Amino acid sequence: MGEESVDLREVLRDARRVVVFTGAGVSAESGIPTFRDALTGLWHRFDAAELATADAFRRDPALVWGWYEWRRMKVLAASPNDGHEAIAAMERRVSKLTLITQNVDDLHERAGSAAVIHLHGSLFAPRCFACARPAAFPEERPEEPEGGRRIEPPECAHCGSPVRPGVVWFGESLPEGALEQAFEAARACDVLFSVGTSSLVHPAAEIPFAAAQAGAAVVQVNPNATPLDRLARFNLRGASAQVMPRLVRETWPGH
Ligand code: OAD
Ligand code: ZN
């Protein structure tokens, strides 16, 4: 890393509160297709923003449920990568680290991160479409063909309505508590990492801006340019599974 990262290592060692804000790019190296990449097979002629809505579910529940089941099976078959592991390791080195993710997978948890804030919900928390009570997945785990398939959603045990994925769809609000906690942590931190997110989807995309406004140093980890480039004090161009472990190693050598 260049000279810039020498400063970053100092900033990080001195930081009392760190926020790590992640997106689909963090899970890319675990083989989880990013949201927009996921539209292959059965869903290739759809737009992600078209499928991830309550309207789409109402219109064709089996199409939408099948899509999320396919994604859930991909996640179950995947493992956390070195990027997830490095973020969990960082949490053990700094006095306070808050991890905020837009991802609906559980790879941060499986890497050992505690108390992950899931802004966009989870693939593993289905609930009733009508009465919102938590629901369970059917016992047997479906073998999803590579191209995906339609699957009728289970019925709610209480009211018989279809069960929906526990994710935030377009047009829906984010879980209020999670959003509040995220902004609070962002406004109170010394350093915020934005890792693997296109910074395009609001309100989540505003979190790094809130941190910068409150005086935090913003660090971006992304192989590609994003709208956050101009705000970030440090732009680390590269893959999360390479950049994050190296940064942790170089900041806390000998650990
Ligand atoms: P996107 O798919 O929009 O963006 C993924 C970002 O990861 C891009 O900026 C890539 O350049 C970057 N990337 C790819 N490979 C990477 C790697 N190995 N290491 C680091 N970065 C990498 O995903 P998100 O920003 O997470 O919302 O999308 C935000 C939200 O949009 C999602 O949570 C989802 C979607 O609509 C909902 O479902 C509500
Ligand atoms: Zn119900």
Enumerate residues 6+ apart whose C-beta is below 8 A from 111: 80, 84, 85, 87, 88
Residue 120 annotated among the catalytic residues of the structure: yes
pLDDT in tens, 98-144: 999 999 999 999 999 999 999 999 999 999 999 999 999 988 776 77
Domains of the chain: 1-30+80-120+173-255 (3.40.50.1220), 33-77+122-167 (3.30.1600.10)
Going from the Cα of 125 to the center of ligand 2, the distance in angstroms, rounded, reads 14
Ligand 1, from 82, 198, 247: best to mutate by most atoms within 8 Å of Cβ?
A: 198
pLDDT in tens, 19-33: 999 999 999 999 997
pLDDT at 250 over 80: yes
pLDDT at 5 over 80: no
Q: How open is the CA angle 27-28-34, to the nearest 5 degrees?
A: 95
Closest CA to 4 of 220, 225, 181, 199: 220
* pLDDT for 36: 65
Count helices and strands in the chain by DSSP H and E runs: 10, 8
Enumerate residues 6+ apart whose C-beta is below 8 A from 253: none
Going from the Cα of 169 to the center of ligand 1, the distance in angstroms, rounded, reads 15
**Could you tell me if 73 and 149 are in contact, meaning their C-beta atoms sit under 8 angstroms apart?**
no
Evaluate the CA torsion angle 240, 35, 72, 108 in order and state its sign: positive
What angle, 0 to 180 degrees and rounded to 10, lies between the N-to-C axes of helices 240-251 and 3-14? 70
pLDDT in tens, 215-248: 999 999 999 999 999 999 999 999 999 999 999 9
| Cα of 41 vs its chain's centroid, Å | 23
Options 120, 158, 202, 255, the catalytic residue: 120
Helix residue ranges per DSSP H, 47-147: 48-51, 54-59, 61-77, 82-93, 107-110
pLDDT at 49 over 90: no
Q: Which atom belonging to ligand 1 lies closest to the Cα atom of 83?
A: 19
Going from the Cα of 198 to the center of ligand 1, the distance in angstroms, rounded, reads 5
* pLDDT for 38: 60
Half-sphere CA count of 22, side-chain side, radius 13 A:
30
| Residue 118 φ then ψ, to 5° | -100, 100
Question: Which is more confidently placed, 3 or 87?
Answer: 87
Q: Which atom belonging to ligand 1 lies closest to the Cα atom of 35?
A: 2
Pocket, ligand 1, Cβ cutoff 6 A:
23-25, 28-29, 34-36, 52, 102, 120, 167-168, 196-198, 200-201, 221-224, 226, 239-240
Going from the Cα of 149 to the center of ligand 2, the distance in angstroms, rounded, reads 25
pLDDT in tens, 139-185: 877 677 887 889 999 999 999 999 999 999 999 999 999 999 999 99
The token pair at 57 is 């579910």
Q: pTM value? A: 0.94
The token pair at 192 is 């915020």
